[in-house]
Amino acid sequence: MEGYLAKLPGHVKISSTFTEMVFNGSEFDEDPTPLLGTLPNLRSLVLCNNAFVATKMVCSALDFPLLTSFKLATLQSLEELVVETGAMPCLTTMTIERCDKLEDLPSGLTKNKNSQKTDDWINARRIQEQC
């Protein structure tokens, strides 16, 4: 979905069959992850170009049960990303690019034994610092 939305439609309006979602420039002023995290078949999620304009995003335990790929790019307001233990159990790739105010490795990922997540975070920070 491209363009300004500000808020996601209610849960009954988002199909549970979606496997991939891309939000570009949506300017959500509330965290979309409580709703998106409940979509049972979602495997890939991209939030880019100020799709999210608040400062804190929280992925709760048990959210995103099948998500394998999560990308955050050019979210200029994002300062804190919390990934609670148990969230995104299938995640293999997390990419964070040009989220200049985000300083720390998302909490919850450091407790996960999947080193790919940490490697992707480190690589994204290196890319960001070089640009």
75-101 pLDDT, tens digit per residue, is 999 999 999 999 999 999 999 999 999
Q: How far is Cα 77 from Cα 120, in angstroms, rounded to an integer?
A: 21
**Number of domains the chain contains:** 1
- Domain assignment present for residue 95? The answer is yes
- Domain assignment present for residue 1? The answer is no
Tokens of residue 84, six digits? 């609670």
* pLDDT (tens digit per residue) in 62-78: 999 999 999 999 999 99
* pLDDT (tens digit per residue) in 25-59: 999 999 999 999 999 999 999 999 999 999 999 99
Domain that holds residue 103: 11-130
Model confidence at 23: pLDDT above 90 = yes
- Domain assignment present for residue 4? The answer is no
- Domain assignment present for residue 112? The answer is yes
